[in-house]
Amino acid sequence: MSKKLTIGMFGFGVVGQGLYDIIKTKKLNLEIKKFVIKNAGKARSLPAELFSTDANDILNDPHINTVVELIDDADAAFEITKKALSSGKNVVSANKKMIATHLQELTSIQQQYGTSLLYEGAVCGSIPIIRNLEEYYDNELLHSVSGIFNGSSNYILSKIFNENQTYDTALKKAQELGFAETDPTLDVGGYDPKFKLAIVASHAYGLFVDPDTILNLGIDKLNDTDIRYAKEKNLKIKLIPLAKEVSNSEVVLYVLPKFVSKDSILFNVENENNGVLVKAAFADEQFFYGKGAGGHPTGSAVLSDITALRYDYRYEYKKHLDAQELTYTTNVDIKVYFRYTDENVLENIAFKNITERFYGEDHKYVIGYLNLQEIIDKRELINQPGYFLAEIA
């Protein structure tokens, strides 16, 4: 029999309202007792007595046994989550930056207090990838996990390649639809998929990796010459995070734009949709596809976690018991396309070898092999205006 959950929810934005819409259509053994929000003066569709601006109205309420955290501020979310778990309350969160940055500490707190933190909604919206990595692939040897983890950047790229929109036009439309923020840097700069990748790597390989050490380059420096190159080669550009075992003891993680061909299953993942590709020793290749942005898709993942708590579900982190067998490495060579303007910059980047050069009237590019650590070390040179780097399969 399921136990009743009495919920305190932090945040009532797009995901919070989407979650509430889903809950009110279901007959579930749960009750939302209180919402804590930042703006007390904003008009709400629910009775005013349900809302508060004081976090302690949830955290100190002994009748609330479940906290749902859906706010943007990663630092505030961490303090809320830490206090809730330490006081015996289970937590469901969709804050990928907070989880990726503090996962090792939060895992220890759960073990210490016997509480549960679930966060399916933090990675790839409606796609249940975390629980699949945790349960279905718990004894599997994973070769790699990659895909499209960010609906905002994928929407922009889809409009560019399928409708010939400019980057600026596509970005503006994504912002109007609520897929991208006013400051879109987290999405188009590759930070959002990097945080998700760190979480995925933890459940895939049992590694706690500081996201600050993971390379992320985004699509914000993309221009018409890169798009023209891709179209001439019958390719598309997708922003792809990758976690891959490169030896029996090493795993590489990075987020880069990538030229993909029609042979790739990711080629036709369009608009705000996400796709996760898992390659494994025994299960072979499997693909997960679904909505990666929007209140209802993410809300459905959050609700899945909430309902799992009715049966005392917890992540077991079994792969972390063998984590000493694997280490995170940045020593791997990657084939890249690099558009640049200044020859002096190119000379200061240590390509292993260059297989193709192009000099045009308005742009130059090279194709060759770079070590991942070299890209990290020279990131400021590589990621400045007028330059663009993408992986080539």
pLDDT of residue 178: 79
Tens-binned pLDDT, residue by residue, of the chain (393 aa): 578 999 999 999 878 887 888 787 777 888 899 999 988 778 787 888 899 999 999 999 999 999 999 998 999 999 999 999 999 999 999 999 999 999 999 999 999 999 999 999 999 988 999 999 999 998 888 999 999 999 999 999 999 999 999 999 999 999 988 788 888 999 999 999 999 999 999 999 999 999 999 999 999 999 999 999 999 999 999 999 999 999 888 999 999 999 999 999 999 999 999 999 999 988 899 999 998 777 778 888 899 999 999 999 999 998 887 656 889 999 999 999 999 999 999 999 999 999 999 998 888 999 999 999 999 999 999 999 999 999 998
Q: What domains sit in the chain, N to C, each tagged with a CATH number?
A: 5-129+296-324 (3.40.50.720), 139-292+325-392 (3.30.360.10)
The answer to whether residues 117 and 321 touch, using CB atoms and an 8 Å cutoff, is no
pLDDT of residue 42: 82
Task: Give one DSSP letter per residue of 245-309, joined into a string.
Answer: E-SSSEEEEEEEEEEE-TTSGGGG--TTEEEEEEEETTTEEEEEEEE-SSHHHHHHHHHHHHHHH
What span, in angstroms and rounded, lies between the C-alpha atoms of 214 and 338?
A: 20
pLDDT of residue 30: 87
Cα-flanking dihedrals φ and ψ of residue 241, to 5°? -80, 150
Give the contacts of 256 (CB within 8 A, at least 6 positions apart): 190, 215, 216, 217, 239, 240, 242, 334, 336, 389, 390, 391
DSSP state of 121: G
The answer to whether residues 67 and 7 touch, using CB atoms and an 8 Å cutoff, is yes
Give the contacts of 103 (CB within 8 A, at least 6 positions apart): 198, 199, 202, 208
Query: Among all residues, which ones are annotated catalytic?
Result: 196
What span, in angstroms and rounded, lies between the C-alpha atoms of 199 and 229?
A: 33
DSSP state of 325: G
DSSP, collapsed to helix, strand or coil, labels residue 60 as coil
Instruction: Write 102-107 long-range contacts (CB < 8 A, 24+).
Output: 102/78, 103/198, 103/199, 103/202, 103/208, 104/208, 106/81, 106/82, 107/208, 107/317, 107/320
| Cβ neighbours around 303 below 10 Å, total | 23
Give the contacts of 373 (CB within 8 A, at least 6 positions apart): 330, 331
pLDDT of residue 361: 83
pLDDT of residue 224: 94
pTM of the model: 0.95
